[in-house]
Chains A and B, each alone.
Chain A
Amino acid sequence: MKRYSVFAIAREALNYHMGWEKAWKSPEPKAEYDAIIVGAGGHGLATAYYLGKNHGLRNVAIVEKGWLGGGNTGRNTTIIRSNYLQDPSAAIYDKALQLYENLSQDLNYNVMFSPRGLLMLAQTHHEVRGYMRTVHANLLQGVQTEYIGPQRVKELVPILNIDGPRYPVLGALYQPRGGTGRHDAVAWGYARACSAMGMDIIQQCEVKGIRSEGGKVVGIETTKGYIGTKKLGMVVAGHSGQLAEMAGFRLPIEAVALQALVSEPIKPCMDVVVMANTVHGYMSQSDKGEMVIGGGTDGFNNYTQRGSFQHIEETLRALIETFPMISRLKMLRQWGGIVDMTGDRSPLISKTPLGNCFINCGWGTGGFKAIPGSGWAMAELMAKGEPGPLAEAFNMWRFKEGQFIDESVAAGVAH
């Protein structure tokens, strides 16, 4: 792999940019691998990358039904933050944030991480108390956040209407280190680094069955034939239920559609990420100038990658009240992704009832921000066969034990 650098640009410019090599190879599957990861989204590719980088496991394949980064990795609103209430969540999301901070250098690929700061607006007295509690929890966890008053909110986001009639802004939970990243580049950067380590990324290869002997995985049946493996990692978000069914167990997960939309591009007007959970809308401005807007989830099982129309209206109605200047903006695109929701709204990074088979799923509506931390923890689990400190609490048996990592109550909404 040739490194990307300013010198590479100069060198290639002399060749009329005809010499750039493909960022990753597209090989045919080998007969057997040391580990196979199902799902070439951010989490799957990050898992493979840290398997190679941290644990020296490089005879690895990543199989993908569609195309690389074409699922929820390409469908989210790119928000990165770690201001979670519960300790296990704060630990893994902050690990992810720390890795994001150096990811472009680490991967030699610009993931355009932009720590522009993130505000979660408090618009009811319950939210004020809730966010103050989160700030105190974050202080104990070593995650730097602060609670700020409405005037400071107005200074940070001049286009925000802080004294709206229904939901005035009473304050905000502010995480200056939070921000956004370029979602596709995260998948592409990891893919390029994995391919450079000699891993095989096999796209257009759907898993049709999981073969096991004596309670252990021996391989997978795919549309490109049988592939043997010593270890299997399932990292497929919305379709985790289907893979679990093939492996013979059930998950505490429901798949529902979450949608987002972007406006036409406008001049720079907001350089922080704003989340308004009471009215349920969140918004940031992309580098192209589009306002990127996240909406609500549907309340029923759905695999169609499109959400219900009324959520668009609900989201925009709330945002127009909070940001009056966007009322004349035209919306360019709207899309949906299938998110895997667990009962406590926290993920699973876990061993499974099937030996040598591991699962990483249940990130629900907030997976993008976790990609590096999730891959780091999942790689440790797959390499050692036992979870490390980051993954330990996220085992799938916590539901039986009643040891929830309850972010659904902590956040009050999807997060």
Chain B
Amino acid sequence: MLILECPYCGVKAEETELAPGYEAHLKRYGPGSTDEEFEAYMFARKNPKGVHFERWRHAYGCGKWFLAARCTATLEVFGTYPAQLSAPPAEIIAKIKAKRPDWKGLK
């Protein structure tokens, strides 16, 4: 069972308390963008086997969105951070690099 710590309330919540929101750090495209950009934003996904950054909502807690760094191949959690950040914090990146030396970084 997946357990994530909500970065706002500090509660270690298991997955029935959380609502998943899939890929984080998507660059948003709207009016004025090309069809290709809009399609990629709407539908194309990284879906990596390994390090992944995701949106989650503490649905049955504070109700706020947060972001999580997680490994999809092992379900290991590297850390969570507030949804206001546009990139993962340096300490989470350092932790991932220490545990996954061949990780190519957030593309």
A242 touches B1 (CB 8 A): no
Contacting chain A: which of B5-13, B39-47, B80-88, B95-103? B39-47
B 8-20 binary contact with A (CB < 8 Å = 1; else 0): 0000000110011
A343 touches B43 (CB 8 A): yes
B45 touches A299 (CB 8 A): no
Q: Is A254's CB within 8 Å of the partner chain B?
A: yes
Q: A255-B47, A310-B1 are in contact. Are A302 and B40 (CB under 8 A)?
A: no
Q: Is B2's CB within 8 Å of the partner chain A?
A: yes
Q: Is A251's CB within 8 Å of the partner chain B?
A: yes
CB contacts (< 8 Å) of B33 on chain A: these are none
Residue of A nearest to B35 (CB): A400
CB contacts (< 8 Å) of A242 on chain B: these are 49
Q: A253-B45, A299-B20, A308-B1 are in contact. Are A400 and B36 (CB under 8 A)?
A: yes
Q: Is B52's CB within 8 Å of the partner chain A?
A: yes
Residue of B nearest to A250 (CB): B44
B22 touches A254 (CB 8 A): yes
Q: In angstroms, how far is the closest chain B Cβ from the Cβ of A145?
A: 31
User: Which one of B40, B45, B47 has the highest number of Cβ atoms from chain A below 10 Å of its Cβ?
Assistant: B47
Q: Which of B39, B45, B70 contacts A254, CB < 8 Å? A: B45
Interface residues of B (CB under 8 A from A): 1-2, 15-16, 19-20, 22-23, 35-36, 39-40, 42-49, 52, 54, 70, 72-75
Q: Which of B1, B35, B36, B47 contacts A251, CB < 8 Å? A: B47
Residue of B nearest to A310 (CB): B16
CB contacts (< 8 Å) of A317 on chain B: these are none
Whole-angstrom distance between the alpha carbons of A251 and B15 in the complex?
27
B73 touches A308 (CB 8 A): no
Residue of B nearest to A244 (CB): B47
A300 touches B54 (CB 8 A): yes
Q: In angstroms, how far is the closest chain A Cβ from the Cβ of B68?
A: 9
User: Which one of A241, A251, A253, A400 has the highest number of Cβ atoms from chain B below 10 Å of its Cβ?
Assistant: A400
CB contacts (< 8 Å) of B52 on chain A: these are 301
Which residues, 252 to 298 on A, are CB-close (under 8 Å) to B?
A: 252-255, 298
CB contacts (< 8 Å) of B19 on chain A: these are 299
Q: A300-B20, A304-B73, A399-B42 are in contact. Are A310 and B15 (CB under 8 A)?
A: yes
Q: A301-B52, A400-B36 are in contact. Are A251 and B72 (CB under 8 A)?
A: no
Which residues, 28 to 70 on A, are CB-close (under 8 Å) to B?
A: none
Q: How many A-B residue pairs have CB under 8 A?
A: 65
Whole-angstrom distance between the alpha carbons of A139 and B36 in the complex?
38
Closest 7 CB pairs of A and B: A252-B43, A299-B20, A241-B47, A250-B44, A400-B39, A300-B20, A399-B43
Whole-angstrom distance between the alpha carbons of A400 and B43 in the complex?
9
CB contacts (< 8 Å) of A343 on chain B: these are 42-43
Q: In angstroms, how far is the closest chain A Cβ from the Cβ of B107?
A: 10
Q: Is A239's CB within 8 Å of the partner chain B?
A: yes
A252 touches B22 (CB 8 A): no
Whole-angstrom distance between the alpha carbons of A399 and B37 in the complex?
12
B36 touches A241 (CB 8 A): no
Which residues, 227 to 253 on A, are CB-close (under 8 Å) to B?
A: 239, 241-242, 250-253
A308 touches B2 (CB 8 A): yes
Whole-angstrom distance between the alpha carbons of A303 and B36 in the complex?
28
Whole-angstrom distance between the alpha carbons of A258 and B42 in the complex?
24
Q: In angstroms, how far is the closest chain B Cβ from the Cβ of A242?
A: 6
CB contacts (< 8 Å) of A308 on chain B: these are 1-2, 15
B42 touches A300 (CB 8 A): no
Q: Is A7's CB within 8 Å of the partner chain B?
A: no
CB contacts (< 8 Å) of B47 on chain A: these are 241, 251, 253-255, 301
Whole-angstrom distance between the alpha carbons of A343 and B23 in the complex?
13
Whole-angstrom distance between the alpha carbons of A92 and B2 in the complex?
37
Residue of A nearest to B43 (CB): A252
CB contacts (< 8 Å) of A298 on chain B: these are 20
Show 8 residue pairs from A and B whose CB-CB distance is below 8 angstroms, ordered by the A residue: A241-B48, A299-B19, A300-B54, A301-B54, A302-B75, A308-B1, A310-B15, A399-B39
Whole-angstrom distance between the alpha carbons of A271 and B40 in the complex?
46
A300 touches B22 (CB 8 A): yes
Whole-angstrom distance between the alpha carbons of A308 and B1 in the complex?
6
Q: In angstroms, how far is the closest chain B Cβ from the Cβ of A209?
A: 15
Whole-angstrom distance between the alpha carbons of A343 and B45 in the complex?
10
B44 touches A251 (CB 8 A): yes
Whole-angstrom distance between the alpha carbons of A399 and B39 in the complex?
7
Whole-angstrom distance between the alpha carbons of A301 and B68 in the complex?
12
Whole-angstrom distance between the alpha carbons of A252 and B47 in the complex?
9
Q: Is A309's CB within 8 Å of the partner chain B?
A: yes
Whole-angstrom distance between the alpha carbons of A95 and B19 in the complex?
38
CB contacts (< 8 Å) of B74 on chain A: these are 304
Residue of A nearest to B75 (CB): A304
CB contacts (< 8 Å) of A252 on chain B: these are 43-45
